[in-house]
Amino acid sequence: MGCRYYSTVLLLLSLSMPMIHCQGPVPTITLEHLDPTLPPAGLAGQVPKCSIIVLQQDFAETVGSPPASANYTHPRECPFPWTRVILELSLSASDLQRDRVAAVWIDGVEVLRTITPLPMAPGAFWTIRKDVSRYAALLRRLGDPSYTTARGHGAISMMLENSNSPGHLPGIYSANVSLHFYRGATMTTAAAASAHPNTRGLYHEPADVILPVSNPAGYRGSDGFWFRIQNETHVQTASIAIPMNAYRAVLEVFVSYHGVDELWYTNPLRTSYLHSSSTANLSSPRANGGFRQLYANIDGQFAGGHIPFPVIYPRSINPFFWSPVASIGAFDMPSYDLDITPFLGLLLDGRMHEIGLGVRDAQPYWLVSANLHVWVDLWSDAVRAGLMSYFVPPLKMNRNAEWRNQDGQSEIDAEGLWRFTGWVSSSRGNLTTSVRQKIKFKSQIEVQNRGAVTQVEVNNKERMMVEVARGHQTLGRAQMLMEAPLQVQTTSVSAAGGSVFRKSRLFHQLLESVALSEGQAMATSTLTDRQDAEGSSLMRGEEPVWGSGATRSSYKYRDDNTCYLRSVNTAGGVIMTDTTSPSCVAEA
Ligand SMILES: *[C@@H]1O[C@H](CO)[C@@H](O)[C@H](O)[C@H]1NC(C)=O
Ligand SMILES: *[C@@H]1O[C@H](CO)[C@@H](O)[C@H](O)[C@H]1NC(C)=O
Ligand SMILES: *[C@@H]1O[C@H](CO)[C@@H](O)[C@H](O)[C@H]1NC(C)=O
Ligand SMILES: *[C@@H]1O[C@H](CO)[C@@H](O)[C@H](O)[C@H]1NC(C)=O
Ligand SMILES: *[C@@H]1O[C@H](CO)[C@@H](O)[C@H](O)[C@H]1NC(C)=O
């Protein structure tokens, strides 16, 4: 019998001990993984009108396979409209397995991207719930009995590339995807709606049409609906035609990073890269620093971008930090909104246009896809629009590196600012939309003791403003402030059999504040999501052998009506404390 669990007990380490030790009792670790944000019963007290399982699938050997898809049948007793729709993805792992990226699509539109936890023992399971009311246009179409496609009344797809072939771990992932339709009053707090409120809160009415900007190979291709970005010059494009009566458009971009860029945010900048010419060996992984920018183009022209929030994958840094809590954003990876309304003047001609997606400084490889949310003017057959100003100065980048053999330090500073303004003349009047964005990024990496001690400090600050005006009168304004500091310290020692013993410490935070104003009305919300972790691990190659980790997670959301607080402390694979406060008043 093999030893089918990762030991999470704190060991007084003897580096010569055998790697697999099967004696002794099976450690008690929590099999249920959780996202330490909103409570699991995010919709407590409310019973959905209908709940249906839309896809059930086991993912065993799926590398290179197209996504799993199921034809959709909408429950007759649950016609549109609904006040809320929740997507639930419940997953379990039969045995040990690596962490994997997965996603769910509705009719080819990505609605959830997630990173699985690292199952530490057979039977690990977890559930992700996401408010998908934002995709009401798709759901409404699925619920329309007269809607038919080549796949019947629409399809739900899921992809999770897994492998059990010899040399890989035996775990099989099993997934159930369900939709819950709610009617009647809903809890009004935004906190109840989304674990990580972002700009989606800026557009309270969901879009009328959602167009996928994704891989056309979709249902048949081995990348599914994802585009694979291979390098910094690689831009993947989709041709789309948008309705001629559109008056607002927002591009929502999903992203995850893999291969040599899985840990892009800890990537040092090597002197050799700094001084290398453009003819350098581009096919090999290079230490090009921890800066990446996700961006979109419209017909080849830059239309906005974001520095991705560094979601820490379970196997990175120390796998034992993430048992049984998920890192910030791992269950429901953040998507990034770009308001492209100012560009409607270029798009409203009824022709096909190229929407491109790329990642600055990318190394192989990134999986990206986007959804274009379009609001249409039902009282017009055609809306007119024009781009009034376009201001995109080059990013100010400062790169410094000083290395002597493995040791040294590097630093990247980046500052950027861009502004777009455009008018849209529809039945709502001739309105101008201004989008302003500012980023300030800093990455500092220091390596000492012949590569044994690494210190990483990254901070990204973004400020975004979208303003709608009629003439000189401001009608509405949305402002978002985001800050994402990350600090990682690791000390590594080589151990027997080519394995590495590593001690690490982590601090990671997501701060977001949103202010919305419309006429006299004003709404604000702030989110502080923080994790501190400390522990050690013994890794053989990329697989954990054993280790320990203690993680403190604290999530606080406040808006004008509510304040919600949750703190979860874990150690040695179990939950030590899990406290929530619906009023932010700390318990005595
Ligand atoms: C999926 O649902 C079935 C019941 O239909 C249940 O037996 C199974 O345990 C579920 N699997 C997961 C991973 O939740
Ligand atoms: C889905 O629907 C299409 C069209 O009705 C049909 O050809 C296909 O066989 C269906 N697939 C499944 C798995 O039922
Ligand atoms: C970037 O990747 C694309 C797609 O794989 C490839 O065609 C191109 O040659 C690559 N460019 C560089 C500079 O490596
Ligand atoms: C580029 O790097 C790869 C991988 O390290 C190596 O195999 C190849 O020989 C290199 N090519 C050149 C021209 O240096
Ligand atoms: C809308 O307003 C802009 C700027 O104020 C102007 O340039 C444009 O011509 C107007 N469009 C229409 C159709 O009136």
- Is 149 touching ligand 5 by the criterion CB < 6 Å? no
Of 90, 91, 94, 125, the residue with max ligand 1 atoms within 8 A of its CB, to mutate for a pocket test, comes to 90
Return phi, psi of residue 577, to 5°.
-145, 150
- Is 23 touching ligand 4 by the criterion CB < 6 Å? no
Alpha-carbon gap, residue 100 to 2, rounded angstroms: 23
Indicate the helix (H) or strand (E) that contains 346: helix 344-347
Q: Tell me what pLDDT residue 225 has.
A: 96
341 alpha carbon to ligand 4 midpoint, in Å?
44
- Is 284 touching ligand 4 by the criterion CB < 6 Å? yes
- Grouping H, G, I as helix, E, B as strand and the rest as coil, residue 435 is strand
Summarize pLDDT for 241-274 with one digit per residue, the tens: 999 999 999 999 999 999 999 999 999 988 776 6
Candidates 188, 247, 257; CA nearest to 46 is 188
- Residue-range domain boundaries for the chain: 4-587
- Is 449 touching ligand 5 by the criterion CB < 6 Å? no
- pTM, two decimals, is 0.92
- Which residue ranges of the chain lie beneath pLDDT 50? 1-2, 9-24, 41-42, 188-200, 277-284, 588
- Is 420 touching ligand 5 by the criterion CB < 6 Å? no
- Is 423 touching ligand 5 by the criterion CB < 6 Å? yes
Atom of ligand 2 nearest to the CA of 69: 13
Of 55, 69, 71, 147, the residue with max ligand 2 atoms within 8 A of its CB, to mutate for a pocket test, comes to 71
**Site of tokens 């509405």:** 476
Nearest ligand to the C-alpha atom of residue 125:
1
Alpha-carbon gap, residue 443 to 114, rounded angstroms: 26
Summarize pLDDT for 566-576 with one digit per residue, the tens: 999 999 999 99
| 560 class by beta-carbon count within 10 Å (0-12 exposed, 13-18 middle, 19+ buried) | exposed
- Is 283 touching ligand 4 by the criterion CB < 6 Å? yes
295 alpha carbon to ligand 3 midpoint, in Å?
17
Alpha-carbon gap, residue 60 to 66, rounded angstroms: 13
C-alpha dist (Å) from residue 586 to 235, 315, 509, 566, 581: 49, 33, 20, 10, 7
Q: Tell me what pLDDT residue 564 has.
A: 87
- Is 380 touching ligand 5 by the criterion CB < 6 Å? no
Q: Tell me what pLDDT residue 2 has.
A: 45
Candidates 303, 290, 288, 286; CA nearest to 358 is 303
